[in-house]
């Protein structure tokens, strides 16, 4: 079994106990960006992974969701933000750089531009990871969407006059939480069978997925009980102040409650109405 994880600090509370050997997991860990993990799970190179919410919606028939596990917010998320040189209402026709690392964040930004801010920017895909922030000044643009640790680092630099937290903007618009990432498994015999890893696993595969799910839930419980320790680790990893990391990790949600599911389905419905993802229902792993 192969288990994917995002290398950003937002996953520290879920994987912290696994990384420290406190909670065992019967899988090999594979670290990547959201887009990399999306692709690996899609072709069957991963069995279970955290993936962008949009990746699940794009091909829901091939996946099952792991219950009670997500990366979400009910208000500010802090690590998904539009940094702009001018107010959003002045971005009509202007160049906005977006990251290829998270389709969920890009589609959320598109919805906000169209339905809330009533503007139609010219979106240009560009690398906006932490290592490339200095290169942004070389690209003509009025605003840039930045996600993950890079967004926290850029916020600390005060380079842009305006900053729009997409989690907070969604909350103000809909009154609902927003789910950025979910944990999903390839469906065994019921899936499309992309790749050899997705074929003929049956009950044995489902049992292995349940064990991984149990490990992730146990590791998350430990992580939420040890946020100060994880904030210190996050500060060492990013170079950000400990209090910034503590506020950030403490403001995220890692469950998938009824309220989060309502927010997730609302997002999917809006994307489906625009033809971005097919209509579908959420399918969960049976843990009974």
> What are the domain boundaries of the chain?
2-72+179-273, 80-174
What's the start-to-end Cα distance of the chain, in Å? 21
DSSP, collapsed to helix, strand or coil, labels residue 70 as strand
The C-alpha atoms of residue 170 and residue 181 are separated, in whole angstroms, by 15
Domain 80-174 has CATH 3.40.190.10: yes
- Residues making up the chain, counted from first to last: 288
User: The whole model's pTM is what?
Assistant: 0.91
pLDDT for 133 equals: 65
Instruction: From residue 18, give the alpha-carbon distance in Å to each of 25, 39, 96.
Output: 7, 23, 38
**pLDDT tens string 252-264:** 999 999 999 999 9
The C-alpha atoms of residue 94 and residue 143 are separated, in whole angstroms, by 8
Element spanning 123, H or E: strand 122-125
pLDDT for 134 equals: 67
Element spanning 201, H or E: none
> In the chain, which stretches have pLDDT less than 70?
128-135, 137, 188-202, 288
Element spanning 50, H or E: strand 48-52
Q: Check if 2-72+179-273 and 80-174 are the same fold.
A: yes
**pLDDT tens string 17-68:** 999 999 999 999 999 988 899 999 999 999 999 999 999 999 999 999 999 9
Neighbours of 200 (CB within 10 A): 10
The C-alpha atoms of residue 38 and residue 172 are separated, in whole angstroms, by 29
**pLDDT tens string 159-175:** 899 999 999 999 999 99
**Is the sign of the CA dihedral 174, 177, 178, 183 positive or negative?**
negative
Residue 180 exposed, middle or buried by CB count within 10 Å (0-12, 13-18, 19+)? buried
Domain 2-72+179-273 has CATH 3.40.190.10: yes
**Number of DSSP helices (H) and strands (E) in the chain, helices first:** 10, 10
């Amino acid at each position: 079994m192969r288990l994917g994880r995002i290398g950003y600090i937002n996953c520290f509370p879920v994987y912290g106990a696994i990384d420290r050997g406190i909670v065992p997991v019967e899988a090999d860990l594979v670290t990547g960006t959201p887009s990399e993990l999306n692709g690996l799970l899609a072709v069957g190179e991963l069995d279970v992974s955290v993936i962008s919410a949009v990746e699940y919606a794009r091909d829901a028939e091939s996946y099952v969701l792991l219950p009670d596990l997500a990366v979400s917010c009910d208000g500010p998320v802090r690590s998904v933000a539009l940094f702009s040189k001018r107010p959003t209402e002045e971005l009509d026709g202007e160049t906005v750089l977006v990251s290829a690392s998270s389709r969920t964040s890009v589609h959320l930004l598109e919805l906000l531009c169209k339905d809330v801010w009533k503007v139609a920017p010219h979106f240009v895909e560009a690398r906006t990871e932490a290592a490339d922030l200095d290169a942004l000044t070389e690209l003509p643009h009025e605003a840039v969407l930045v996600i993950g640790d890079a967004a926290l680092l850029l916020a600390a630099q005060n380079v842009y006059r305006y900053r729009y937290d997409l989690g907070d903007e969604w909350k103000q618009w809909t009154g609902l939480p927003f789910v950025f990432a979910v944990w999903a498994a390839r469906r065994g015999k019921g899936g499309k069978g992309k790749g050899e890893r997705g074929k003929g696993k049956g009950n044995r595969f489902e049992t292995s997925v349940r064990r991984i799910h149990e490990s992730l839930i146990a590791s998350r419980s430990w992580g939420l009980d040890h946020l100060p320790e994880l904030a210190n680790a996050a500060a060492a990893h990013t170079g950000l102040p400990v209090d910034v990391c503590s506020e950030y990790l403490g403001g995220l949600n890692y469950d998938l409650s009824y309220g989060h599911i309502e927010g997730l389905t609302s997002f999917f419905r809006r994307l489906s109405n625009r033809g971005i993802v097919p209509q579908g229902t959420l399918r969960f792993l049976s843990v009974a």
